[in-house]
Structure 1
């Protein structure tokens, strides 16, 4: 697949696809923007009242409301609220089940793609409903920090049930990696670990009870369901949105008198300190999505590109972090910056369990003779 400026090509049977530059990119250049084929807010994140559009994850509370909730200080007043991007007047909700959207366009898109199925399923909002029970069961198995949600799988099933061309819809999902174990069959994906063995079949049966589909019976077999969990585990791109962080970015760009700039910056620092005391690192609306182009970008411990969400919704932007030459592979870091600075052994351990491969990037190859020891940071978190 060739697109303006870059190309998706098969590297090898073992490594699969890769993303390659067809033209030079300068540091900071946008390589592409992409919307997910499906995305979903994490279950615990939603339960803790992180308010996001059910379709695109755009925040549904103002920056001021966001700051008040995360600090537990309802009297906070933010200056320059013209810098807040949340338009509360455009928020709409499904008349049947009450799910909220940032705008009518998102509501219509969700209804056409998957919500018609899920809405009909959840019209009676009671604790005994199969979808509610499925979500609650998942939450009791997977506590924060969250990396996946069973409701993303539910949306995948619903999107196929509602698709006009069902074969094409199934084909879209089949292009993602489905591997459940690594190349040596030694390490299963961490969502399929030993502690979840009994739970996986419970989830499969509950999902089948809530959302059976004659079009994808293979997804509901034991092996097929494990593959689905591995699919969202290895391909799901984390999404984070925040009305407060967008306000901070916009206020920081204002031309303000020096004294006012000092006061605003002090306020922002104090609010972030207060938030950290109350919610720690859980500042954002969080979820995950499946992206066709982004999923073709391989990992490197010295990446030359980064995934960002500059619009505070599910639209992803891939940006060059250094100059990239024509023919060079475009790689991102599957681990966060802190994890990328850890020892080779620590990085390989994380990549094996989360993504089922051993990294052979330039950095890992240069450190191949390093002792197999875990980073001090890992010891501290154990």
Structure 2
């Protein structure tokens, strides 16, 4: 490996460091998540994705027709990456998979613990109640899912070495009880913070207890909510997006490329009119290595998702041997804001004061929010 995990300062705990010079554009590592799941409303609105890896289960043409609300004929249909002949499902519940391999991995890792054994969407199974309760708390645009916690705990229950699985989970849990409570309230929002007890009771009723008792206490549940709130990584997949990538690799003559660009512009206009910005199968995942990456307002790496829920950490500039490998926890818009605004957002969502090189170099800035920040937030 071209990196190693080291203990850093008391604020960060651990971090990733380069063991050699890493050129810009290099893939530092690729990693499958410990667990991942589709957002609850995303699934409810008919965004068909593999229940394990989030691979699209629609063809690009089906995807385009649903997102535009009309029948669409896509050119270069041979570039669609969806192979519906490999699709399969759980024999006992509605879970769909892109392949037998994903079905097997899901059953072996967690699904046999959490299968609701019913095709009825109105089933009274505790997990169905938990998911429906979460949906009434966490409306689109979605940022997380209670079902990530369910799969994480089911993974421990299925593990042949529960102690090791618990230890791996605990590496993400390193805050105080008060900090966990603050992050849990932030995740749910002020309006729904009072529902934590209800969610906790539903989770306790939904799963076996042996081996995960420490996580099923109220304090343990707060810790898990804080975990997914700070370490959950958003994942998006798209049948249309994959189709476009393949079409763009075709050796098309210039006039066909121009015609394709015009077609795409019209297609995206139609999709925007019908569904707005909600184009992808969207979900959340928890990664072991990627979660060890600390934040910088001047990052040298970024996560990408070339293969469904698999993350690829790529260098965005040359990284020197011994340098810490950092990503941004803020989106691109926030990175352009003032030091005060960036630090405020990081403290609000992650409970730390950023001391990266960019923040230190801007120490002379006033601790105020600028008009540009307000404009960016409005956008």
**TM-score, normalised with respect to structure 2:** 0.94
Q: 1:294 to 1:314 in 2, by over 3 A?
A: same
Q: Which residue of 1 aligns with 2:321?
A: 326
Q: Which residue of 2 aligns with 1:348?
A: 343
Deviation per CA, 1:306-359: give whole Å up to 9, x if none. Answer: 100012x11110000111110011111111212211222322222122222121
Q: 1:212 to 1:199 in 2, by over 3 A?
A: farther
- Alpha-carbon distance in 1 for matches of 2:375, 2:202: 39
- Pairs within 5 Å for 1:66-77: 66-74=63-71, 76-77=72-73
- Pairs within 5 Å for 1:42-121: 42-74=39-71, 76-120=72-116
SS across alignment from 1:138 = helix
Q: Is the 8 A contact 2:37 2:285 kept in 1?
A: yes
- Pairs within 5 Å for 1:1-382: 4-74=1-71, 76-120=72-116, 122=118, 125-179=121-175, 188-189=183-184, 190-191=186-187, 194-311=190-307, 313-371=308-366, 372-374=368-370, 375-378=373-376, 380=378
- Alpha-carbon distance in 2 for matches of 1:178, 1:57: 29
SS across alignment from 1:40 = strand
SS across alignment from 2:139 = coil
Q: CA deviation at 1:41?
A: 0.7
Q: CA deviation at 1:12?
A: 2.1
Q: CA deviation at 1:376?
A: 2.2
- Alpha-carbon distance in 1 for matches of 2:20, 2:103: 38
- Alpha-carbon distance in 1 for matches of 2:176, 2:66: 39
- Alpha-carbon distance in 1 for matches of 2:271, 2:344: 32
Q: Is the 8 A contact 1:97 1:125 kept in 2?
A: no
SS across alignment from 1:325 = coil
Q: Out of 351-360 and 89-98, give the one that drifted further.
A: 351-360
Deviation per CA, 1:112-168: give whole Å up to 9, x if none. Answer: 111111115656653422111110111111111111101111111211121111111
- Alpha-carbon distance in 2 for matches of 1:108, 1:25: 36
Q: 1:192 to 1:99 in 2, by over 3 A?
A: closer
Q: Is the 8 A contact 1:5 1:31 kept in 2?
A: yes
Q: Is the 8 A contact 1:122 1:131 kept in 2?
A: no
Q: CA deviation at 1:377?
A: 2.9
Q: CA deviation at 1:181?
A: 7.3
Q: CA deviation at 1:369?
A: 2.9
Q: Can you give the 5+ residue segments of structure 1 that lack an aligned partner in the other structure?
A: none
Q: Out of 117-126 and 129-138, give the one that drifted further.
A: 117-126
Task: Give the aligned CA root-mean-square deviation in angstroms.
Answer: 1.9
**TM-score, normalised with respect to structure 1:** 0.93
Q: CA deviation at 1:182?
A: 8.3
Equivalent residues, number: 375
Q: CA deviation at 1:211?
A: 1.3
Q: CA deviation at 1:281?
A: 1.8
Q: Can you give the 5+ residue segments of structure 2 that lack an aligned partner in the other structure?
A: none
Deviation per CA, 1:214-261: give whole Å up to 9, x if none. Answer: 211111211111010000111111111111111111111211122211
